[in-house]
Amino acid sequence: MVKLAEWRGKEMFRKYGVPLPRGAVARSPEEAESLTAKGAVPLPCVVKAQVLAGGRGKGGAVKFASSPAEARAAAASILGLEFKGEVVREVLLEEKLAIGHEFYVSFTLDRAARIPILISSAKGGIEIESVDDAAIDRQPVHPFPGLTSFERRRAARSLGVSGSVAKSLDRVLGALWQAFQAEDAELIEVNPLAQVGDGVVALDAKVIIEDDAAFRHPEYAEIRDDRTPLEEIAREKEIAFVQLDGNIGVIANGAGLTMATLDVLKEFGGDPGVFLDLGGTDDPNKVTEAFLLMAKAKPRAVFLNIFGGVTRCDTVATGLVAAMKQVPASDRFPLVARIRGNNEKEGIAILEAAGITATPGLKESAQAVVAAAKGAA
């Protein structure tokens, strides 16, 4: 998924006609000063760190400025901060509006009901998880015919607005719905959507675009703020790769089998650090690439757990052996391979010929890799 930074989300909102505070992005204190000095951002203004993590307000990443010098200072104090591992490289400067009530609205998917859902609450401006269930309205929106006027009216009622504010809300909900569909969003969340005068204005924007729809949205291809460098390489090679804090690398095929492998390793005291899902590949080169990527993550031990269904065990074994030859001796690590299924015997033979022991038992091999990781420590 592609999470858009606030300013990118707002840029997208603007296309659909959602009212926004006037503002601009700065990547240096000087730029912040100049944007406010030349009036591109009216003063007084808010200066906000552009990071994807929540809780910016508490972390000193949102400041106010009433002069270009203050804007510069605010930007200087925010740029370079780190939030949950994410360094602030951009700040969004926006005019400070006289806001009234703060609301919450979002469109997302209700998986169980297989339908988009409009969530609204009069209790905006705080994290929606902390809002009481009774204060939240959930409204399914059928993709055909799409968001209707009575659904928008119901949201207005749940927000307690009427008159011109309700009319403004009505337009904003229509625009957000349009964006939700047209941009292939997983989530469009505005919190707060604030009353300003007799209308509403989106003060924040949280937008997540679905990865699977990337083929329709080349415009999002360059946004990769939310991945580690190795994850980024994996993405380019279309390998599912996630880095955690542990020290055992796991290569498996299929999300379910990968998760089950982690469960078993944890059970025996192991601490998985990287997991890599080969999926349904039957290309030995892809196995080699995956394995070399794993080596770069420097695990203490690696557990290869394959059930050959679509994938053939001998293909995986061939790819793995080729990869092992390319890993420098200094980067080597203990490897426990467990392969089952399609062409299992051929696979085991290939591994053993290369000096790698392969067993069919999940429990036994999990215990072995946990011991290996501890031994290597």
Partner 1 sequence: MTVLVDADTRVVVQGITGHQGTVHTRQMKLFGTQVVAGVTPGKAGSEVEGVPVFDSVKDAVAASRANAACIFVPAPYARDALLETVDAGIRLAVIVTEHIPFHDMLVMYHYAREKGARIIGPNCPGIAAPGKAKVGIIPNVVFRPGRVGVISRSGTLTYEIVNGIKEVGLGQSTCIGLGGDPVVGTSFVDALPLFQADPETDVLVMVGEIGGTAEEDGAEFIGQHFTKPVVAYIAGRSAPPGKRMGHAGAIISRGKGTAETKVAALEAAGATVARFPYEIPALVADLVKQQARR
Note whether 135 and 166 are within 8 A (CB). no
**Can you tell me the distance from the alpha carbon of 71 to that of 367, in angstroms, rounded to the nearest whole number?**
57
- The distance of closest approach from Cβ of residue 288 to a copy of itself in the complex, given in angstroms and rounded to an integer, is 36
Which span (42-50, 80-88, 145-153, 286-294) binds partner 1, by CB under 8 A? 145-153
**In terms of CB distance, is 60 or 143 closer to a copy of itself?**
143
Binding mask 177-206 for partner 1 (x = CB under 8 A): ----x--x-xx-x-x--------------x
Other Cβ atoms within 10 Å of 167 Cβ, number: 16
Peptide bond into 192 cis (omega under 30): yes
DSSP character string of 7-24? HHHHHHHHHTT-----EE
State the DSSP code for 197: T
Binding mask 309-348 for a copy of itself (x = CB under 8 A): ----------------------------------------
Q: Is 220 a catalytic residue?
A: no
**In terms of CB distance, is 11 or 151 closer to partner 1?**
151
Question: Alpha carbon of 301 to those of 167, 330, 376: distances in Å?
Answer: 61, 14, 8
- The distance of closest approach from Cβ of residue 83 to partner 1 in the complex, given in angstroms and rounded to an integer, is 16
Binds partner 1 by CB under 8 A, chosen from 14, 96, 101, 154: 154
Q: In which element (H, E) is residue 153 found?
A: helix 149-159
**In terms of CB distance, is 39 or 309 closer to partner 1?**
309
Pick what 148 binds: partner 1, a copy of itself, none; C-beta below 5 to 8 Å, kind-dependent.
partner 1
Which span (23-31, 141-149, 170-178, 317-325) binds a copy of itself, by CB under 8 A? 141-149
- The distance of closest approach from Cβ of residue 144 to a copy of itself in the complex, given in angstroms and rounded to an integer, is 4
Note whether 253 and 304 are within 8 A (CB). no
Pick what 26 binds: a copy of itself, partner 1, none; C-beta below 5 to 8 Å, kind-dependent.
none
Question: Which of 192, 200, 196 has the alpha carbon at shortest distance from 106?
Answer: 192
The catalytic position among 102, 104, 183, 344 is 104
Total residues contacting partner 1 by CB under 8 A comes to 76
Residue 319 interacts with partner 1 (CB under 8 A): yes or no? no
- In the region spanning residues 201 to 230, those forming contacts with partner 1, defined by CB under 8 A, are 206, 208, 210-213, 215-216, 226
Which span (8-16, 18-26, 34-42, 126-134) binds partner 1, by CB under 8 A? 126-134
Which span (22-30, 65-73, 133-141, 324-332) binds partner 1, by CB under 8 A? 133-141
- In the region spanning residues 142 to 161, those forming contacts with a copy of itself, defined by CB under 8 A, are 143-145
**In terms of CB distance, is 74 or 118 closer to partner 1?**
118
- In the region spanning residues 336 to 365, those forming contacts with partner 1, defined by CB under 8 A, are 340-342, 361-363
Strands (DSSP E) found in the chain: 2-4, 23-26, 45-49, 62-65, 82-83, 86-87, 91-95, 99-110, 115-121, 136-140, 185-196, 199-202, 206-209, 240-243, 248-252, 272-277, 301-308, 335-341
Pick what 235 binds: partner 1, a copy of itself, none; C-beta below 5 to 8 Å, kind-dependent.
none
CA 28 to chain centre: 26
Note whether 255 and 275 are within 8 A (CB). no
Question: Which of 3, 22, 48, 68 has the alpha carbon at shortest distance from 201?
Answer: 22
> In this structure, is the dihedral angle defined by the CA atoms of residues 2, 6, 7 and 10, taken in order, positive or negative?
positive
**Can you tell me the distance from the alpha carbon of 154 to that of 127, in angstroms, rounded to the nearest whole number?**
22
Question: Which of 109, 65, 83, 69 has the alpha carbon at shortest distance from 5?
Answer: 83
Residue with tokens 């007799």: 198
- In the region spanning residues 242 to 271, those forming contacts with partner 1, defined by CB under 8 A, are 242, 244, 252-257, 259-260, 262-267
Q: Is 364 a catalytic residue?
A: no
- What amino acid positions are annotated as catalytic residues? 104, 189
Where does this chain bind a copy of itself (CB under 8 A)? Answer: 143-145
